[in-house]
Amino acid sequence: MTRLLLIRHGATEWNEARRLQGRADPGLSPRGHAEVLSWRLPPDWKEACWLSSPLRRARETAALLTAAPVAIEPRLIEMDWGAFEGRTLAELRAENPGGMATNEARGLDFRPPGGESPREVAERFRHLAADLADAPEPVIAVTHKGVVRAGLALATGWTMATKPPVRLAGDHALALLCHPGGRLELAGPPLALAD
């Protein structure tokens, strides 16, 4: 069993505009950069090894949080939002209220045109968790909201058709336990990173 701490990257200009980023690769905004500089890791995570999504916003966040080596892990990449990338949910809901409501009600099986479902994100993350289950030390992974939500779904049975069972604020990290086979368990409430 391995302890895993999921940290969502700091804010980008697209986050601030509430645009769906998916695989787009903007860096941190000035506000996001300052925000990450204010974060502090819980003391019992100081000796962890580090992983990051390959996307720039996650790599920049990791570089601001640690001087340790950070391995790039493709399975930590954000959900592919397909044709919805760069749009806001408000725009999409206004253009097609019935279609978006039906799609969003599908929870884990929500799928943007040409994109990936949260269930698919959860499945690739489960494979990563299985690989990490025998790691000799705790792991900190800098990733994206879609991946953090997938981890929460796997750990709690949340179907994403309702509000999450745990509030996931942007300046909090999600602590999980990785068991053999990729089974995940919450290791406590989300951990505040901001002072």
User: pLDDT at position 168, please?
Assistant: 86
Cα 88 to Cα 166: distance, rounded to the nearest angstrom: 24
Two structure tokens written together for 141: 């992974």
How much is the pTM? 0.95
Active-site residue list: 9, 78
Q: Say if CB 138 and CB 2 are below 8 A apart.
A: yes
Is residue 22's pLDDT more than 80? Answer: yes
> Is the pLDDT assigned to residue 85 strictly greater than 80?
yes
- Return mean pLDDT, the chain: 96
Work out the angle at residue 46's Cα, subtended by the Cα atoms of residues 67 and 32, and round it to the nearest 5 degrees: 55
- Homologous superfamily, domain 2-192: Phosphoglycerate mutase-like (3.40.50.1240)
* pLDDT higher than threshold 80 for residue 81: yes
User: What does the pLDDT read at residue 3?
Assistant: 96
* Contact partners, residue 118, CB within 8 Å, separation at least 6: 79, 107, 108, 109, 110, 146, 149, 150, 153, 160
Domain boundaries, the chain: 2-192
